Structure 1
Amino acid sequence: MDHHGVTANPLPCYDVFLSYSWMDYALACRLQAALKAQGLLVFRDERGIRDYQQIDEAIAEHLARSRSLVALYSPAFPESPYCRWELTTALAQAYRLDRHTRRVLAVRHGVDFADLVPAQLADVKLPAATASVEATAASVATHLGQEVDDRVLGDAPSTIPGRWLPHEPQPAPAFRGRWAELWRIKAVLTPGHTPTSPGRVVAVLLGLGGQGKTALAVEYARQFAEEYPGGIFFLHGFGSHLNAHGDHAFVFDIRRRQLEWITRQLTKGQEADEHALRDHLERASLPYLWIVDDLPRDTGDELFDALLAPTANGRTLITTRYESAARRGEPIRLSALADEDAVALLTSARPPAAGERAAARQLACAELGGHPQALSLVAGLAATDNFAGYAALRAELATPGPDAMALADELHGEVAGRRPASVAATLLRSIRELPAPAREVLQLVSVLATAPITEPLLVEIIGAADDVEPAQRAALVSAGLDVARQRGLTQPVHGDDQPLWLVHALVIRTLRFIDLADERRQRFRWAALEILTRRLDDSRPRLRYARLERDLPHLREVARPEQGTGDRYALNEAGRAYVELGDLARAEEVFARLAAACRATLGDDDPSTLAVLVGLAATMDLRGRHRQAIELKVRIHAALARVLGSHDPATLTALHNVAVGHLNLREPAAAAELFRTVYRARRRLLSVHNADTLVSLGDYATAVARAGRPRLAHRLRSVVHERMQRLRGDDDVLTLEALNNLGASQHKAGEVAAAATFEAVYAGRVRLLGPTHPETLSAAENVAIVTDPARLHTVYATRVLEHDPADPHVLATLHNLLADLAPELPTMDGPVPELPAEGRPAPDGPAAPPPGLLLDPLEDFDANTDYRVAVFTRAHVVHEERVRRLGAEDAETLLALCYVGHASALLGQVGHQLEAALDILTDAAAGLREARGANHPQARLADRLRDWVDDQLDG
């Protein structure tokens, strides 16, 4: 009888397909007889399958015509590739039939329940291993009669293609093995699974380089795509090998790009904001799979959490080589491929001749130790016309030469397997046997960072290095990449606007090992440096740096500041670009590296060294370390005055920066005097219509405004905006800065035009800098202040979630937010820091109604505590008022508790103050998750602040 009303298979069917190892032949015969005695029709292969034979089509047909599979699970069972194939196939077909695997039963013989792999086999209760064969057969018959209908495994529907976003990965080499790990992923990501670590369910595939982590993640997604009707999201290209600790800024940028691209696809181009993606997923309320491929090392909790599925109905699967990720998820560790799977992968392109089967097995299992990438590379070698055979290759790899031994030492700890020197020899052989176009392209790739690379960039660099015609160089790159792909050395991936290429880090390391002192490699580096620098220069006039974010890791890789002026200039421009992109931590790292190189090669007082120190000091100022910054600025100005004279443009810029330092330290009179000096000197030297001259005049206006002369400031700002508009146009960051300053004066004077002015500044910065850039958020803050202060929380939350919660801009926004909620307390005034790209201060404005609100305020974060104390006091007042009015457990009260925790952490970022803040934020986060749900924006804000404080304590 068909329990589901499905027409039975007209061909003869079996109740049981008995799967067993040939070593358990006698017991299998007894079990078959006992099952037949229960009235069950049983298929058992009586011929056996020997090594190097393929699965018989007749065996596959018998399995397809069986209602169930019974696995005689002994210690020998999982060692047999044929048993593994039968079990894996039956599990997949059973799951597609019923959404569970109760058609697949394990009869234990000499193993414990804990030894059953996959764990789904232990879900069905069967007699103990000590039970008689007859009792076991009766239990099987009862189970089949009660739990399994008349359909057969072959009735299972075919796998349904998933909806991949932003794109489905390119086809990889044939997938082999990993059946147990695949079902382990299935177990971890099945709803109802209880994670060993608190929080969201995350499966983490762990393995060293070349272990096939990505291939397994993609295979899981394809096998179980129908479980994820909400889509399969594949985030990749995070550059886990950019440096020892990963490049957080680069990872955040790649994440942002891909989320925006995904959102545009889901909303048909109407939206690209990350919050729109989260809203879409929550409204759809469908399960989805979220794959994060190649997680970098030492991401920290903030970045780790940001990379997880954004809503509760998503399941996250991470691939990484770093154990640090295991503490936040369920680790699934990959080891070498099983022997038969390794042989199958190695011989996938060319079956071994009759006399080479043993050599192929020895090569796959003994020499290469089941290392998937090495096996794939050998398969690529075997596909070539000049392949001499598996025996010859095995003999070569069995005795690796000195170069392979040296490479193995260099790759120590990154290559799995019993014979790392043989794996190293395979890498060397694969690269050395490439035809010239592929070898040349890979040699160029190895000069760049281990990050996604656009094909046009490679074409441009080769053209610059060799002066090749455009059509020829494009054909060369395309052909070279295609051959490298066929040999398993590179992989195409989808970018958000154009195709990208990735080369595995082991291949990059091998190429660099081979070509360490190669003259052509040096030409490629010079060409790459020239092209990437020119791209930055072309983007600088209108600050279109956002278009070059993908280039910056490559520029940092090729620039060698100790080698020459061009390298130093390029790295300096990269630092400026990072500032404009709002990545101040990366900017400071770049400037510090460059400053150290300049001091070592040029000396402390060299103009180039001092120019770099200008950028470093300005970036320190932007990060809120004003006292340290002004001390450095004063030394820089004195040195430049000695070396270049007091009226040199570089010296004037240094003096301008000192003035900004005084403004940041709330010394407007001193700042105004210095700004006026710089303005007059620049007017004589550069003319009144020069952009730098106008910046000085605008900054002088800011200083006199803070000194209590708002009318003069208003007049000066009107002049600066009008002239900057004529000089640079409306769609320019300097024009927008002048317009923002004018808006501050309009607002101070009570003019209604201020609202429209700030709206225009905000719209322009969104176009030029993006919606989450610090300056854009400052403009949004000004709009909120003059139109609807209730919107300040949105700006504050965005700053916290997108940037460092310790950033002075975040403190200023929190001050404004609390000033609106508790206007009865006095407000603190404060300036903003400079932007080092032009040595200029960012726009600011004076206090304005409602009482306590500031336009773009900022206070010295290290040297002065009064501003932070004021924020801390306001936070407590707001929280206590909500406790009285709403109660301690109300969600709005818990949100105010987040403000208290944040202000506490900012008040004193060491010792007991941080510990107290952590306790406060832990309570607030738990309460908001319960009151609002784990994915509510307020709960995410609390989690972000708690994790940030926790990181401060750990650090």
Structure 2
Amino acid sequence: MPAQDVPPATPRVTISYAGFNRAWAAWIGDRLERQGWQVVFQLWNPPVEVPLEVALRDLLFSDGRILVVLSDWYFKLGPRTDAEWNAALRSVVAPNSARFAAVSVSPEPKPAAAPAFGGTTELWGIGAREAERRLAGLLGTSPALISDSSSTLGRGTAPRYPHDPPRVWGGVPRRKVTFTGREITLQRLYDLLQRSAPGAGVVTLLGLSGVGKTQAAAEYVYRFGSEYDVVWWVPADQRSTLRQRLAELAPALGLPTGHEYGERLRAVRDALRRGDPWARWLVVLDGADDPGPIADLIPTGTGHTLITSRNHAWGEHNTALLQVPVFDRDESVAFVRRRAPRIGAQDAALLADALGDLPLALDQTAGWLSDSTMSVAEYISLLESDAEVELGLRVAPDFPMSYVTTFSILLNRLRETVPEAVELLRLCAFFAPGAIPAQLVRGVPAQDLPEELADLMDDSLRWNAAISRLVQYSVIRWDAPDAETDPENSGTIHLHRMVHQTVRGSMSKQDQERYSRAVRRALSAANPGRPADTRRWSRYAKLVPHLDASRALTSRNADMHALIFNCLNYLYLAGEYQIGIQLAERTRTAWESAFGADDPLVWDLVSQYATLLRPTGDYARTERLDRQVIERLGAHRGTDDLTVLRAEEGLGADLSGLARYEESLQVSERVLRRYLALVGEQDPRTLNARHNLAASLRLLGRFADAYEADRVNLQARRQLHRPRHNLSLSSEDAYALDLRLLGRYDEALSVIEPSVETHRRVMGPDNPQTLTAELNLALCVLRSGDRAAAHARLAGLLERAERVLGDASPLTLRIATCCSFVQRAHGSLDQARALGERTMERYRVSLGARHPFSIGTRVNHALVLRAAGERQSSRKLLEECLSEMTAALGPDHPWTLGVAMNATAARNLDGDVEGAAALSRDTVRRAGSVLGPRHPLSLSAQVALATDLRGLRLREEADRVEEEALAGLIATLGSQHVHTVSARSRVRPYWDFEPLLS
């Protein structure tokens, strides 16, 4: 085909719009399609965590022009600040201004950099014909192509100009300018109605009180109303009101009828069914909570009916059901910040959590806080102290009742029809909000319940009827049991936080005490026992959330005390340290108030508290706590009391964390001797003490002694417990660690590799004990020569540890240290340096500059400096570290010997060959004496000595030392191991510092 005969390509345009301005986007798209454009719609709703620059740059992936529908909603979505927008517009839009165009559809001021859009025109406040003319001029469409749209406005299927209301409009609430989110819900609602069969376009929006069903329906009307000719809003809580408002539609439609409601109503229903005079109609029935009296009045025909209700029974009346959920957290934060600009993002998230993301509660509370001097933290504290729930709720003209009042009306209705359902709800209010296992609820002792509730628990039919009625009115959500996946599960009640607070707050003090006592007894009866048994952890996980709500912390009952201790022990073993710390702190406050600060029960609790606190790295604090426990409980019970001995075990771990390794060893040896005398060789406490003794020996560099203790302990624990028990797995990891530190890499790998798989199955992949075992495995892989595999394992492990434990926990820092030196060895110097410096600084702040971990990470940093070519800085740092590590641990500790070996290389590179050789000789002698001549560190020190001797031209001695080192490496690691190959190639070895935890 000749070039001049090729038809012009259809121009493409992408319309980017905020959901609030959907009507504008639909009209603009229709006009542009009539003018010959190919139109693509792009909803602008980037997640808060996505930077504006990224979101705007994503628009550039579309073909053709990009037309942005500008409004306050487009710019504030998130919300985003003007400063963020100005930066993004300058960096992304300005360089691509030829691609962009914009129309403004609201009068609010725009960010200063808004002119970065290539062209902008104002559509706000003008008529449809002028708006279409400006739109054509903006995109360069020939005026001859502009359609005479005025004749089609409001007719046919074309979207209506947003400033032109439907032909018939009545009763619709004012649009809420703080409306937030709901994009998915509104789009699903639109799809359900548009895809419905003729005569079946009926959808019910369902949800609990205050979730925003009415607001979602109103927003649907404003967002999609341009596609309807008739929009009629009807309050539907009573049949008489519904009949009256539907009948009032007759004169609005111009129907020739008399004055009788019945006649008008029949005419309206017939007109809607036939679609005459208007086929595109929308009727909204708001607040239709009882379908029985009004179901026969639901309009059908060519248009759509939208119902808002709390009642699931609408599903039986030929209507599609669409659940309106509470806000997701980003929506809650955005809504609160629009409602109360003084509240920051972090406080908005805290408020959203306290109110369960319920829109009405957020609206009324944020409205009050916006003008109040009370902080969000103070308000939440009041809520948590069971203060009046209506405190701080500000009603508004569009919803003149508080959430509490609204819900109370519903409860009164339920009480009249199914009183036992309300009593069940009152009982549930003394479990925690959220998920409540039905097994716990039905486990409340019958003697502690009112008669009607006791009968309900034993009668499955009545139980199911009560649950069904609460579900029907969206008071609770019910998850039915799945016998195949969880045989113990008998179903789960989900109770929203605001429902929980409202029900609980409406009860008398006497009823509160009665129901809370009943729930406590149910929790006590459900105590799983043996918290070390991982098979029982799922049951503990279901109990822990309900301790506070049931007032278990203030109970004087010994069974409740036992349950709390078991829960704290479970939280420690499961690695839920922060939850455990918070529970222990709240319990200590309650018990000190109830029993006095010096009661032995309180000090038992403090000992458990220190155990939970220790994994966070606050060793100075845990040392003080453990010494206080030893002193106070020792005075009450004597020094041989088992709780006192447990506190002494903790003290040994505290001293290890503080690098007072000799003191720690002395404490560990004393505790082990006392356990042997008190409970014998095979008692679990004795084995724990031996495990701790091995850790103390390991930190002192006595790897062979630690190996012997762990070997004996592993066998004993496997016999006493079972091979898959968490304590046996802990000994397995310690045993493999000892093998690795002794240089027996293949043996260590053969032990830890299957152990890690068992850890994952038994403990879970994110348990700290599993993470520790995986670190050991990664380092075994590294020492066996597969650097790439170790690098991949450590990178993933660090990401998981930071997610689970935070980036400052001792275990995370240990993993980060190892990850950094593997990154350096892998050639990723920038990453290694950044991670190493961050870790080094955290150790310095938390443990002090003279702690071996702080010194060791500076040693690793010196290797990064050397690799980066900063040799003088590297040598200076290594010499400082050698002096400090010697002062901290002595000249014979393996860590000091490792630093010394690195320092010999720095001296050699700096031309101080004599100093390097002297230090190398001393290092070889000491390493051979402490670790044995065939240990990898001893052999590496010999390889380094050979290099220094060669620098002194002592070739004969150098060759002899090198041959001995090579023979030792071949004998211990094999001829193809990376260390052997490097030594054969005369690559000087180095030593990486690895922190060890007690």
TM norm structure 1: 0.51
85-94 or 634-643: bigger deviation: 85-94
Match of 2:389 among 410, 435, 451: 410
Number of the residue aligned with 1:450: 433
> Is residue 381–residue 487 contact of structure 1 (8 Å, CA) maintained in 2?
no
Match of 2:762 among 768, 775, 799: 768
Cα 1:433–1:760 shift into 2, 3 Å: same
Which residues in structure 2 correspond to 1:134-173 (within 5 Å)? 142-144=145-147
Offset at 1:638?
1.1
1:248-305 deviation per Cα after TM superposition (whole angstroms, max 9, x unaligned): xxxxxxxxxxxxxxxxxxxxxxxxxxxxxxxxxxxxxxxxxxxxx99xxxxxxxxxxx
1:377-428 deviation per Cα after TM superposition (whole angstroms, max 9, x unaligned): 964368689xxxxxxxxxxxxxxxxxxxx99963244565346556543322
Number of the residue aligned with 1:744: 737
Cα 1:480–1:133 shift into 2, 3 Å: same
Cα 1:346–1:770 shift into 2, 3 Å: farther
Cα 1:144–1:867 shift into 2, 3 Å: farther
Number of the residue aligned with 1:593: 586
CA–CA distance in structure 2, aligned partners of residues 518 and 380 of structure 1: 33
CA–CA distance in structure 2, aligned partners of residues 816 and 320 of structure 1: 49
Offset at 1:792?
2.5
> Is residue 489–residue 507 contact of structure 1 (8 Å, CA) maintained in 2?
yes
Offset at 1:630?
0.8
Offset at 1:443?
1.1
Gaps of 5+ in 2: 1-19, 43-64, 70-102, 111-118, 137-142, 160-170, 194-206, 223-230, 249-283, 295-382, 783-789, 827-838, 871-998
CA–CA distance in structure 2, aligned partners of residues 148 and 583 of structure 1: 68
Cα 1:89–1:682 shift into 2, 3 Å: same
Number of the residue aligned with 1:460: 443
Look up the equivalent residue of 2:511 and give its one-letter code: E
Number of the residue aligned with 2:649: 656
User: SS of the counterpart of 1:515?
Assistant: coil
Look up the equivalent residue of 1:784 and give its one-letter code: A
Look up the equivalent residue of 2:690 and give its one-letter code: L
Match of 2:615 among 622, 626, 631: 622
Look up the equivalent residue of 2:241 and give its one-letter code: P
Which residues in structure 2 correspond to 1:291-310 (within 5 Å)? none
CA–CA distance in structure 1, aligned partners of residues 387 and 648 of structure 2: 54
Offset at 1:439?
0.4
CA–CA distance in structure 2, aligned partners of residues 475 and 92 of structure 1: 56
CA–CA distance in structure 2, aligned partners of residues 335 and 658 of structure 1: 59
Number of the residue aligned with 1:380: 289
Q: What is the identity percentage for the equivalent residue pairs of Structure 1 and Structure 2?
A: 14
Is 1:523 aligned to 2:490, yes or no?
no
Offset at 1:732?
0.7
Number of the residue aligned with 1:431: 411
Number of the residue aligned with 1:490: 476
> Is residue 433–residue 500 contact of structure 2 (8 Å, CA) maintained in 1?
yes
Which residues in structure 2 correspond to 1:171-570 (within 5 Å)? 217-221=184-188, 223=190, 344=233, 346-347=235-236, 350=239, 352=241, 379-380=288-289, 410-414=389-393, 416-418=395-397, 421=401, 424-434=404-414, 435-461=418-444, 465-466=448-449, 468=454, 472-492=458-478, 500-519=492-511, 522-523=514-515, 525-528=517-520, 530-531=522-523, 534-537=526-529, 540-542=532-534, 544-546=536-538, 548-565=540-557, 566-570=559-563
Look up the equivalent residue of 1:657 and give its one-letter code: G
> Is residue 408–residue 421 contact of structure 1 (8 Å, CA) maintained in 2?
no
Offset at 1:657?
1.6
Which residues in structure 2 correspond to 1:720-799 (within 5 Å)? 720-751=713-744, 752-788=746-782, 789-790=790-791, 791-799=793-801
Offset at 1:815?
2.1
Offset at 1:459?
3.1
Considering only CA atoms, is the larger Rg found in Structure 1 or Structure 2? Answer: 2
Cα 1:637–1:127 shift into 2, 3 Å: closer
Which residues in structure 2 correspond to 1:663-678 (within 5 Å)? 663-678=656-671
Look up the equivalent residue of 1:447 and give its one-letter code: F
CA–CA distance in structure 2, aligned partners of residues 349 and 560 of structure 1: 45
Match of 2:575 among 579, 582, 606: 582
Offset at 1:558?
1.9
Number of the residue aligned with 1:57: none
1:827-880 deviation per Cα after TM superposition (whole angstroms, max 9, x unaligned): xxxxxxxxxxxxxxxxxxxxxxxxxxx9xx999934565345436535654665
Offset at 1:134?
9.5
> Is residue 528–residue 539 contact of structure 2 (8 Å, CA) maintained in 1?
no
1:677-736 deviation per Cα after TM superposition (whole angstroms, max 9, x unaligned): 322332333232211111112222332344454333323222211111111101111111
> Is residue 630–residue 658 contact of structure 1 (8 Å, CA) maintained in 2?
yes
Cα 1:131–1:766 shift into 2, 3 Å: closer
User: SS of the counterpart of 1:861?
Assistant: helix
Look up the equivalent residue of 2:591 and give its one-letter code: C
1:620-678 deviation per Cα after TM superposition (whole angstroms, max 9, x unaligned): 22110111111111111011111011112112212222222222223333323322332
> Is residue 478–residue 494 contact of structure 2 (8 Å, CA) maintained in 1?
yes
CA–CA distance in structure 2, aligned partners of residues 147 and 343 of structure 1: 24
Offset at 1:344?
4.6
Number of the residue aligned with 1:805: 807
Offset at 1:783?
0.4
Is 1:861 aligned to 2:846, yes or no?
yes
Is 1:114 aligned to 2:100, yes or no?
no
Cα 1:154–1:668 shift into 2, 3 Å: same
Cα 1:742–1:488 shift into 2, 3 Å: closer
Look up the equivalent residue of 2:464 and give its one-letter code: S
CA–CA distance in structure 1, aligned partners of residues 132 and 817 of structure 2: 72
> Is residue 623–residue 807 contact of structure 1 (8 Å, CA) maintained in 2?
yes
Cα 1:100–1:810 shift into 2, 3 Å: closer
Look up the equivalent residue of 1:430 and give its one-letter code: L
CA–CA distance in structure 1, aligned partners of residues 860 and 530 of structure 2: 46
CA–CA distance in structure 1, aligned partners of residues 598 and 780 of structure 2: 47
Offset at 1:355?
6.2
User: SS of the counterpart of 1:805?
Assistant: coil
> Is residue 702–residue 713 contact of structure 1 (8 Å, CA) maintained in 2?
yes
CA–CA distance in structure 2, aligned partners of residues 709 and 479 of structure 1: 68
Look up the equivalent residue of 2:105 and give its one-letter code: A
Match of 1:716 among 684, 709, 723: 709
Cα 1:728–1:132 shift into 2, 3 Å: closer
Cα 1:860–1:694 shift into 2, 3 Å: farther
Gaps of 5+ in 1: 1-77, 79-83, 107-111, 157-175, 185-204, 208-212, 227-292, 295-318, 322-332, 360-374, 386-405, 825-853, 886-955
> Is residue 377–residue 489 contact of structure 1 (8 Å, CA) maintained in 2?
no
> Is residue 350–residue 379 contact of structure 1 (8 Å, CA) maintained in 2?
no
CA–CA distance in structure 2, aligned partners of residues 868 and 777 of structure 1: 20
807-816 or 480-489: bigger deviation: 480-489
CA–CA distance in structure 2, aligned partners of residues 637 and 676 of structure 1: 17
> Is residue 172–residue 218 contact of structure 2 (8 Å, CA) maintained in 1?
yes
Offset at 1:482?
1.7
Which residues in structure 2 correspond to 1:909-920 (within 5 Å)? none
TM norm structure 2: 0.49
Alpha-carbon RMSD: 5.5
Offset at 1:99?
4.6
Look up the equivalent residue of 1:866 and give its one-letter code: H
User: SS of the counterpart of 2:494?
Assistant: strand
Match of 2:676 among 676, 679, 683: 683
1:898-919 deviation per Cα after TM superposition (whole angstroms, max 9, x unaligned): xxxxxxxxxxxxxxxxxxxxxx
> Is residue 617–residue 633 contact of structure 1 (8 Å, CA) maintained in 2?
yes
